[in-house]
Amino acid sequence: MKIKTRFAPSPTGFLHIGGARTSLYSWLYARHHHGEFVLRVEDTDFERNSEEATAAIIEAMEWLGMGYDEGPYYQSQRMDRYKEVIDQMLEQGTAYRCYCSKEQLQADREAQEANKEKPKYVGRCRHLGAHEQDPSKPHCIRFKNPETGVVTFEDAIRGSISFNNEELDDFIIARTDGTPTYNFCVVVDDWDMEITHVIRGEDHINNTPRQINVLRALGAPVPTYAHVSMINGQDGKKLSKRHGAVNVMQFKEDGYLPEAIVNYIARLGWGHGDQEIFSREELVKFFEITNVSKNPSSFDYAKLNWVNQHYMRELSPADLATKVKAFVDYDVESNALAPFAQVLQLYVERCHTLKELAEQVKYIYQPVTELEEAAAKKHLKSVEVLQALKANLAEIPASEFNAQAVHQVMQDTATALELGMGKVGMPLRVAVTGVGQSPSIDAICAFVGQEQVLARLDNAIAWINNQAAQ
């Protein structure tokens, strides 16, 4: 049997992290078993669907590297097929026309709630004879769900799950305007597309018995179902915007690598021993849906940042520079002394995203216009130190202004002023970078260049004098 999975998003918004994980698990399962992966767009909610959302979902999947073998199929283009199946079910007696008004249905619901019964359709039109039906009058179409028995399916993640048919009602498969409903369309689609494994969120568990009953009524094979648990934030509540980015493409805009996102979300509920970092080939090799946990996962930005930093370090200097350039708003060619790829290697161990890297190296390519207040107040106290540094750094021949020469000046200045290296290095760091933390300041000075270093020391001296005058 050829394994065939599908991802079937509704184009009512962006691809969120939970949907991306479901898609990834479906993709990995198909690839692991040398099967096929189908993309199907469930766009029958005409009021909420948008072409922009569809494009955004496909863009996000492409960014994550989840190519599909078939599709994208669009439910909105399959209306004739749904009507064909509904007509067939009406003829066979597995579906029927329902003429109940909204007022009748509401009254039924209120009566059931008053009797503390589970609200469901009472079956008023279930046994109407042919002479009692008039297709020209407003009506919907309901599925004639079995009234007795049990629907049991073996969830690949959760084990055996059962529902009593008497708890399920005759749900609507076509609305009064003729448009088919989700629980019907998905059944026909899975049947026509020969889907063998349906991997989706746990919020669909209650839909599964209804869909299985329709499949059986159609004489169609029942796929294997696997329901993935939700993703929570660190506070234990369902992941949402309040926890940070949940839109997959927002992670791209924030400077995360697709390899890192794929690696991280794969591990949100699945694992292979104690291994944390997986190449895509390893994910395909090791992934099995039966190894996915049925417990909720917790989205941890600290862990994601660690994973992303790993993948940034794995990039070649040239590739890293190319990717970071997408986040710079300054001219990286403006300083011939600071090849961008080399500069980034000085910072990559300190940063977690491409965007952060771009921000951290900014001061090497453009003047420092503002000093970090806390760092300046703590370390910029002595004009004497800065003046000594400036004088000594100015004596270095331009052709010999490198990290070693700067370091020697720092040592000589500290000795002459009878100060520890920190009392010299930190003022120099704040003056040149504008911040209190950075990689080795002698290497940074070499990248910034002698002319700019001296100019920034002048600015720092002016800042101290200005503070003293206030």
Q: Is 98 annotated as a binding residue?
A: yes
Tell the burial category of 367 from Cβ atoms under 10 Å away from its Cβ (0-12, 13-18, 19+).
Answer: exposed
Per residue in 58-83, pLDDT (tens digit) is 999 999 999 999 999 999 999 999 99
> How far apart, in Å, are the Cα atoms of 348 and each of 282, 313, 324, 340, 354?
25, 7, 11, 12, 9
pLDDT band of 342, cuts 50, 70, 90 = very high
- Cα–Cα distance, 278 to 243 (Å, whole number): 26
pLDDT value of residue 237: 83
pLDDT value of residue 131: 79
> How far apart, in Å, are the Cα atoms of 181 and each of 56, 143, 340?
24, 11, 55
Q: Which residues make Cβ contacts (< 8 Å) with residue 46, sequence separation at least 6?
A: 76, 179
pLDDT value of residue 85: 98
Q: Is 127 annotated as a binding residue?
A: yes
Amino acid residing at 242:
R
Residue 86 near residue 174 (C-beta atoms within 8 A)? yes
> How far apart, in Å, are the Cα atoms of 139 and each of 99, 101, 107, 173, 364?
5, 9, 18, 12, 71
pLDDT band of 431, cuts 50, 70, 90 = very high
Q: Which residues make Cβ contacts (< 8 Å) with residue 382, sequence separation at least 6?
A: 423, 427, 464
pLDDT value of residue 238: 81
Per DSSP, the three-state class of 422 is helix
Q: Is the pLDDT of residue 352 over 90?
A: yes
pLDDT value of residue 365: 96
Region of 155 on the Ramachandran plot (φ > 0 left; ψ -120 to 50 alpha; else beta): beta
Tell the burial category of 173 from Cβ atoms under 10 Å away from its Cβ (0-12, 13-18, 19+).
Answer: buried
pLDDT value of residue 411: 97
- H/E segment holding residue 375: helix 373-379
Per DSSP, the three-state class of 49 is coil
Per residue in 373-418, pLDDT (tens digit) is 999 999 999 999 999 999 999 999 999 999 999 999 999 999 999 9
pLDDT value of residue 133: 86
Strand order, beta sheet including 70-74: 70-74, 36-41, 4-7, 197-201, 224-228
Per residue in 25-66, pLDDT (tens digit) is 999 999 999 999 999 999 887 777 778 889 999 999 999 999
* CATH class of the 1-73+181-314 domain in this structure: alpha beta
Residue pointed to by tokens 């927002």? 250
Residue 353 near residue 305 (C-beta atoms within 8 A)? yes
Q: Which two tokens stand for residue 247?
A: 């839109």
Q: What is the mean pLDDT of the chain?
A: 94
Q: Which two tokens stand for residue 431?
A: 């003056």
Percent of the chain whose predicted confidence (pLDDT) is above 90? 89
pLDDT value of residue 134: 87
pLDDT value of residue 244: 66
Taking residues 146-161, what's their average pLDDT?
97
Closest Cα to residue 401, out of 368, 443, 363?
443
pLDDT value of residue 241: 66
Q: Which two tokens stand for residue 85?
A: 């199946």
Identify each DSSP E strand in 29-109 by its residue range: 36-41, 70-74, 95-98
Count helices and strands in the chain by DSSP H and E runs? 20, 12
Neighbour count for residue 279 (Cβ, 10 Å): 11
pLDDT value of residue 245: 62
Q: Which two tokens stand for residue 54?
A: 């569809």
Q: What angle do CA 225, 228, 231 make, to 5 degrees?
A: 165
Q: Is 351 annotated as a binding residue?
A: no
User: Regarding the domain delimited by 373-469, which CATH topology (the fold level of the hierarchy) does it fall under?
Assistant: Arc Repressor Mutant, subunit A (1.10.10)
Closest Cα to residue 387, out of 448, 428, 329, 445?
428
Per residue in 225-272, pLDDT (tens digit) is 999 999 998 888 887 767 766 889 999 999 999 999 999 999 999 999
pLDDT band of 424, cuts 50, 70, 90 = very high
Amino acid residing at 445:
C
Residue pointed to by tokens 């992941």? 239
pLDDT value of residue 233: 86
> How far apart, in Å, are the Cα atoms of 247 and each of 3, 195, 353?
29, 27, 17
Q: Which two tokens stand for residue 285?
A: 């090799």
Taking residues 111-122, what's their average pLDDT?
91
Q: Which two tokens stand for residue 330?
A: 């300054």
pLDDT value of residue 13: 84
Q: What is the DSSP letter of 243?
A: G
For residues 278 and 468, which has the higher predicted lDDT (pLDDT)? 278
